[in-house]
Amino acid sequence: KALIIDFGSQVTQLIARRLRENGVYCEIHPYQNVTDASLKAYNPKAIIFSGGPDSVMREGSPRPPKAAYELGVPILGICYGQQVMMHDLGGRVEAGEHATAEFGRAFVTPSSNKLDMLEGWFEDGNEQVWMSHGDHVAERAPGFEVYGTSPGAPFAITADVKRNFFAVQFHPEVHHTPNGNKLYANFLKLAGFKGDWTMGAYREEAIARIREQVGDKQVICGLSGGVDSSVTALLLHQAIGDQLTCVFVNNGLLRKNEAEEVVAMFTENYKIKLVYADESELFLGELEGQDDPETKRKIIGRLFIDVFQKYADTIEGAEFLAQGTLYPDVIESVSFSGGPSVTIKSHHNVGGLPEKMGLKLVEPLRELFKDEVRILGRELGLPQSFIGRHPFPGPGLAIRCPGLITREKLAILREADAVYIDQIRKHGLYDEIWQAYVAILPVRTVGVMGDGRTYDYACAMRAVTSVDGMTADYYPFSHEFLGETATRIINEVKGINRVTYDITSKPPGTIEWE
Ligand code: XMP
């Protein structure tokens, strides 16, 4: 196994991800927790020093333990990790001046020395890399040679081949270093890894960790039917069986058949203990008369917590709360909390239960990215229909029903949405689309059907492509598809006589209407 010592880079998890992609098990340990003794106990086959925001010249800035250099295992230092290595081993780092600071794309030129770790690099001359540094190495440590330079980093790639210490100024783990993965692959090979670790092994390890953390205590888990909470629930179930109780809250704002499908899937297929909390009357009652988006969100968020707490209290001996927090959620809450950004929407989801519940958290997906969670889901035997599901927001149909929420409008919306999704599936487009739904608009329009006048609701279809939900493009359906779907909705759904297609991207729009 490999060890990543984290000095606080925003992209440390990407290093872990690259290692996993190369079939290598690794753990990330914050530098504060790594001592000579803990390092020896961990017994890594290779060590990676991550980047970080600090400057090695600052008194008290982060350092790896001395033992790291004495274990005789390969080390790869990245950015701050390079600087700290040079500094510790007798080189010199200089503060950045404007002229030498580099942020963004840069090109590294090879030196005449050859290095095994660079196999597959420089085939077309220069190599594009991603830099993000103010300071830079000014003098290399004894034993190190230079293998690549960039305009702002004369020591872009350095290595001491005798000791297998490698230190680079750029970030090979990010997407903008296109050949970065080759560096990792070569480094890991050189460290003697066979690359045979898989998500199946991750699952085994996650299960062992859950067992160790939870012992014989009871765990509760909010299940929404989304990928993250489903995978969390299944993993826990495999780890601790009946010590897990899931709570599924029906807030009256779910899509057609959603509650039935989720409940059936988890109780019949998996025999998971599940409390079905039908609180739709409560939610819809409190939402009556509300038409402001933020007010709706706040009400739903608050009720969800109350309800969850109420059911959690009935589960005897519950000491742990399992949540499907993913790595991007961790990063977002760390880097944006207290930041200057404005609140566009008060997001809420099952993963956002408050700490004051007095339960300890179990978050087995904390290190993973969404696509890795999907792979893990497959590993756990979760059917594709669940794994590939579009995201569904915590506040549900409330935010797809601009204006006042009524039971009548929700019923119409459910039907229209079901027809729309059915069309998308029939045309084989579901997996190409990040998210698709119908919103019912707070206007009624005049139409003519048969020989009669209609005065019914208008609706908007929405479908977007996106990588992470932060930005999005509308999906370019064919006119045939749009026409056919509009006709089906109007014919099959009583209460709708006009259909529009929303072609706003994000920004300036958001994915949901509210
Ligand atoms: P917006 O509308 O902000 O949505 O562009 C981006 C993504 O987030 C989902 N979304 C939510 N998810 N709780 C959630 O769990 C929420 O309160 C919430 N609001 C929006 C939205 O469906 C899209 O995938």
DSSP string, 47-86: EEE---SS-TTSTT-----GGGGTS---EEEETHHHHHHH
Question: At 39, which amino acid appears?
Answer: L
Say whether pLDDT at 336 is over 90.
no
Question: In the chain, where does the domain assigned CATH 3.40.50.620 lie?
Answer: 199-387
Residues 168, 83, 69: CA angle, nearest 5 degrees: 90
The pairing of beta strand 26-30 with beta strand 46-49: unpaired
Say whether pLDDT at 338 is over 60.
no
Task: Tell me whether 0.85 is exceeded by the ipTM.
Answer: yes
Say whether pLDDT at 4 is over 80.
yes
* Band of pLDDT at residue 371, cut at 50, 70 and 90: confident
Query: Distance, CA 395 to ligand 1 centroid (Å)?
Result: 9
Lining ligand 1 with CB less than 6 A are 345, 347-349, 391, 393-395, 435, 469, 506, 510-512
The per-residue pLDDT for 252 is 98
CATH (residue range 406-501): 3.30.300.10
The per-residue pLDDT for 18 is 94
Closest residue by CA, ligand 1 atom 11:
393
The Cα 325–Cα 369 span in angstroms is: 10
* Band of pLDDT at residue 339, cut at 50, 70 and 90: very low
199-387: CATH superfamily:
HUPs (3.40.50.620)
The per-residue pLDDT for 332 is 54
CB 233 within 8 A of CB 244: yes
The per-residue pLDDT for 256 is 97
Average pLDDT over residues 111-134: 91
CATH of region 2-190, choose from 3.40.50.10440, 3.90.550.10, 3.40.50.300, 3.40.50.880: 3.40.50.880
Give the gyration radius of the chain's Cα atoms.
Answer: 27
Q: In a mutational test of the pocket of ligand 1, which residue from 347, 350, 464 has the highest number of ligand atoms less than 8 Å from its CB?
A: 347
* Marked catalytic residue, from 26, 79, 221, 401: 79
Interval 63-90: pLDDT, tens: 999 999 999 999 999 999 999 999 999 9
Say whether pLDDT at 328 is over 80.
no
Atom of ligand 1 nearest to the CA of 301: 17
Average pLDDT over residues 383-393: 91
Query: Distance, CA 396 to ligand 1 centroid (Å)?
Result: 9
CB 178 within 8 A of CB 128: yes
Is 479 among the residues known to form the active site? no
The Cα 131–Cα 122 span in angstroms is: 17
Atom of ligand 1 nearest to the CA of 392: 22
Share of the chain above pLDDT 90, in %: 78
Helix/strand/coil for 394? coil
The per-residue pLDDT for 267 is 95
Interval 7-25: pLDDT, tens: 998 888 889 999 999 999 8
Interval 173-221: pLDDT, tens: 988 899 999 999 999 999 999 999 899 989 999 999 999 999 999 999 9
Question: In the chain, where does the domain assigned CATH 3.40.50.880 lie?
Answer: 2-190
Say whether pLDDT at 262 is over 60.
yes
CB-based burial label for 67 (10 Å; 0-12, 13-18, 19+): middle
Q: Is 226 annotated as a binding residue?
A: yes
Closest residue by CA, ligand 1 atom 6:
469
Q: Is 478 annotated as a binding residue?
A: no
Say whether pLDDT at 350 is over 60.
no
Average pLDDT over residues 344-362: 72
Q: Is 36 annotated as a binding residue?
A: no
Q: Is 228 annotated as a binding residue?
A: yes
Which structure tokens are listed for 276? 């079905």
The per-residue pLDDT for 468 is 74
Closest residue by CA, ligand 1 atom 21:
393
Say whether pLDDT at 345 is over 50.
yes
Interval 47-63: pLDDT, tens: 999 999 899 999 999 99
Closest CA to 371 of 286, 434, 438: 434
The Cα 209–Cα 470 span in angstroms is: 32
Question: At 242, which amino acid appears?
Answer: D
Closest CA to 315 of 235, 215, 209, 221: 221
Q: In a mutational test of the pocket of ligand 1, which residue from 342, 345, 346 has the highest number of ligand atoms less than 8 Å from its CB?
A: 345
Q: Go through 338-363 and write b for each residue having 16 or more CB atoms within 10 A of its CB, e for each that does not.
A: eeeeeeeeeebbbbbbeeebebeebb
Q: Which is more confident, 21 or 340? A: 21
Atom of ligand 1 nearest to the CA of 350: 15
Query: Distance, CA 377 to ligand 1 centroid (Å)?
Result: 22
Say whether pLDDT at 386 is over 60.
yes
Say whether pLDDT at 334 is over 80.
no
Question: For the whole prediction, is pTM greater than 0.95?
Answer: no
Say whether pLDDT at 127 is over 80.
yes
Helices 199-214 and 227-240 meet at what angle, rounded to 10? 60
Query: Distance, CA 393 to ligand 1 centroid (Å)?
Result: 5
Interval 135-180: pLDDT, tens: 889 999 999 999 999 988 899 999 999 999 999 999 999 888 999 9
Q: In a mutational test of the pocket of ligand 1, which residue from 467, 511, 513, 514 has the highest number of ligand atoms less than 8 Å from its CB?
A: 511
Closest residue by CA, ligand 1 atom 4:
511
The Cα 454–Cα 369 span in angstroms is: 48
Is 173 among the residues known to form the active site? yes
The Cα 460–Cα 503 span in angstroms is: 10
Q: Is 227 annotated as a binding residue?
A: yes
Closest residue by CA, ligand 1 atom 10:
393
| Mean pLDDT of the residues in the chain | 92
